Structure 1
Amino acid sequence: MLTKVLLILLGFPIILPSRIEETHVESEMGPCAYHDDVYGPKPQDPKKKLPSEEIKPTAIDTHRDLGKLPAATQILDSILNNSDYKLRPGIGEKPTVVTVELSVNTLGPISIPDMEYSIDITLYQTWYDERLRYNGSFESFVLNGNMMSQLWIPDTFFRNSKEIRVYSVTVHSQVVRIHRDGKVLYTDRMTIDAGCSFHMLKFPMDSHSCPLSFSSSSYPENEIMYKWKDFKLEINENNSWKLLQFDFTGVSNETKIISTMAGDFMVITLFFNVSRRFGFNAVQNYVPSSMTTIMSWISFWIKKESAPARTSLGITSVLTITTLGSCTQKNFPRESYMTALDVYIAICFLFCLCALVEFAVLNFLIHNHTRSRASPRLRYPPTRARDLTPTRTHAKQQQQEDIFMYDFEESGEESDEEDGPSCPAQQSLNPSLTQRRRSCCRICKYLCVVRSCDGSFWQQGRLFIHIYRLDNYSQVIFPVTFIFFNVLYWVICFNL
């Protein structure tokens, strides 16, 4: 007995340091030492429960959740098997009433050359199908585009559409919601390129109504009837509309019956009203054409002798107006009528052309008058009557019939003043004066080519125009006429 007690006392110090050493090493490594050396999940605290132990559904909850899915499947299978998608609801009894609503997501852009516009809409169609009624705790079922082939859907199509793009990312945008009472809501989002006839007679002060008409493609009026739900049309103007040069002014609708060989179809048409913004065309067309016309009048203040300067300015103005008129027609449909902008550019072209013609007329008349004053004049050689006998006088006269002398007169203001009053205006005031030479009034009896002519414009029933003062007349007539044209033009355009 004593021996056993001694052995126990001697072995206790050996076991105790080893226990303490192991505990010390574990405390130095810490809990992170495991993650530094080994990749794997963190060991769980034995005092804490696992998630599978903390949350453990009872058998009653699992049975309740699994019981709803078979019930929904059973209801859906029953209503789909009882309905025939090939036949419309109420066939042979009454027409199917389809209620239509639209939500406009984006309107535009509007293409004038192609006469079409683009619109992004979400189409809502609602109708009742008694074959889809069911009893159950579910208020409605939502079916995606994969189930469309098992239901009857109205064959609605857009009559003036050129291209329709349906959204299919990530799945088809077609959605059907079936209610307990048999009400069916069909939703589809699409982008439509629809045709629109643009009447450009008042361009650029024009406004248009772009239609969007739809109807059934195979069911006449006595089988399918469309109606609006209190004309509810949702316009999402907060979205980025692409009207560019146009402003949206409102929407209106129209319902009519179209008779065809297949029957009478009900057609509903929406009109999206837009008006063109004037600012762009004012900067790009009206201001350049007006400034070019005014610039052509600078030639009236250039001397008549500077023919190259005046000619080049006139030709440049005419070519600029022609280029502006051609550029405006690039984005236009090929129409046979003239627009309001074409009329304005045509008048500006006429003003520039008249400014060029004015210098041509002035130069021609002055040159013609100068040449006529410098033409050779026939005169007999001077002789003294007292130095000649009758015989010699007769011989001398016979010789003068064959001999001529040319005397050139210089044209100018001095010669005109020396000749005295030679204009028609002064001759009408002074009939007793010497008759003017034929060379001075060879052009026209209503024109005065003498620089010193003091006659007024209107005298004794005749309108006398001073050719040398033609530029002075143009400096007043052209601006006044152009201002009068602008006032008349804008009053007519804004009142039409």
Structure 2
Amino acid sequence: MTELSGENLTRAFQILSTILNNYDHELRPGIGEKPTVVTVEVFVNSLGPLSTLDMEYSIDFIFYQTWYDEHLRYNDTFETLVLHGNVVSQLWILDTFFRNSKRTHEYDITIPNQMALIHKDGQVLYSVRMTIDARCSLHMLKFPMDSHSCPLSFSSFSYDEHEMIYKWENFKLQINEKNTWKIFKFDFPGVNNKTEIISTPVGDFMIMTFFFNVSRRFGFLVFQNYAPSSVTTMLSWVSFCIKTEATAARDSVALDFYIAICFVLCFCALLEFALLNFLTYNETKRQASPKLYHLPTSSHANTRTRARARTRARAHARARQQQEVFVCEIVTYEGNAEEEHQYCPAQWSSSSRRPQCPLL
């Protein structure tokens, strides 16, 4: 079984290499001879929501297109070859675009959601999944009993009707009924299609359009809007049954006070939030950036110590000068009774000799 699978894989690879060896994916099949006929089928995964405000709706669907390419024919026991991912880009793919789309999204998880199925007779089936937000003109003249037809138009971007022809395969539009429709306010009665030719400066193009017919759910609208409004109106009639002698109702005054108090509380809550946010921000900023204290270096300390020592020395010297008292003594020597000398002890120097002072 393993050998057989390996042989099949080798043969499939050889077939694909042979048909793509001299294949030009930029040339349309049958170019210069006949137009390419494209058969279209659509499988709708989900439809909705439908926005009456934006005048648009959303649709998720798989788009199938089938055509013949003579360059992809091969002779082998394999009936089909399945290509997906980046291999599909090696084939010629028609340039269909949706004319009334506002936004288009193609899925690429886990790989690009596209596939090409090649038959041995050259038939190619190309499928791609996408989600489109398309325009839908809503006419509200008959509201709330209005109905609408939301179109989805597509055509070739560069090939006119002489090169590209679209047709429906018995108008196959399959809808996944298991998924819940997202159009809660509308019913979905059905679909129809239309084919037309429009003239442009570059040629005449074939346009295919299918319409999703929707009608508003009157019962849903009644329970959502009309019933609450009617009940509120009837409750207001209770005041008509009150006697004229009774005290007038104060509902309106109480309601005004209630609304005013609610407004004040909401405003105070906003102020509290702003104040707490401001205080929290400042506290966080202060903790994140602490103050830096510069410790004195040894050189700075020595300089200040020497300065204080000099200051104390000068102060001590001034104090000694203020406290000194100069005392002079009269000394009489024996050799000469008349000779007297005066000396001042306070002015003695460090030497043993006393300074001599003149007589007064």
Distance 2:10 2:82 in 1: 16
SS in 2 for 1:170: coil
Q: 1:126 deviation in Å?
A: 0.2
Task: Choose from 130, 146, 152 the match for 2:92.
Answer: 152
Q: 1:228 deviation in Å?
A: 0.3
TM-score (norm 2): 0.65
Do structure 1's residue 170 and structure 2's residue 110 form an aligned pair? yes
Contact 1:106 1:239 in 2 (8 A): yes
Do structure 1's residue 93 and structure 2's residue 33 form an aligned pair? yes
Q: 1:310 deviation in Å?
A: 10
Structure with larger RCO (C-alpha < 8 A, sep 6+): 2
Q: Deviations over 1:111-155 (max 9, x none)?
A: 221111111101110000111111111111111121122111110
Unaligned 5+ runs, structure 1: 1-56, 317-496
Do structure 1's residue 69 and structure 2's residue 9 form an aligned pair? yes
Tell me whether 294-303 or 281-290 shows the greater mean CA deviation. 294-303
Q: If each structure's helix is expressed as a fraction of its own residues, which one has the higher value?
A: 1
Do structure 1's residue 185 and structure 2's residue 130 form an aligned pair? no
Q: 1:74 deviation in Å?
A: 2.1
1:310 and 1:89, CA in 2 relative to 1: closer, same or farther beyond 3 A? same
Match of 2:179 in 1: 239
Q: Deviations over 1:260-288 (max 9, x none)?
A: 11211111111111122223321232223
SS in 1 for 2:21: helix
Distance 1:107 1:245 in 2: 13
SS in 2 for 1:122: strand
Distance 2:237 2:22 in 1: 86
Do structure 1's residue 120 and structure 2's residue 60 form an aligned pair? yes
Code of the residue aligned with 1:136 in structure 2: it is D
**CA-atom RMSD, angstroms?**
2.6
SS in 1 for 2:10: helix
Do structure 1's residue 198 and structure 2's residue 138 form an aligned pair? yes
TM-score (norm 1): 0.48
Q: Percent identity?
A: 64
Match of 2:165 in 1: 225
Tell me whether 204-213 or 301-310 shows the greater mean CA deviation. 301-310
Tell me whether 277-286 or 166-175 shows the greater mean CA deviation. 277-286
Code of the residue aligned with 1:282 in structure 2: it is V
Q: 1:236 deviation in Å?
A: 1.1
Do structure 1's residue 269 and structure 2's residue 222 form an aligned pair? no
Q: 1:305 deviation in Å?
A: 6.6
Distance 2:240 2:250 in 1: 8
Code of the residue aligned with 1:100 in structure 2: it is V
Code of the residue aligned with 2:63 in structure 1: it is L
SS in 2 for 1:70: helix
Distance 1:79 1:245 in 2: 52
Contact 2:185 2:221 in 1 (8 A): no
1:139 and 1:275, CA in 2 relative to 1: closer, same or farther beyond 3 A? same
Distance 1:93 1:247 in 2: 47
Q: If each structure's strand is expressed as a fraction of its own residues, which one has the higher value?
A: 2
SS in 2 for 1:141: strand
Distance 1:185 1:291 in 2: 58
Contact 1:299 1:310 in 2 (8 A): no
Do structure 1's residue 283 and structure 2's residue 223 form an aligned pair? yes
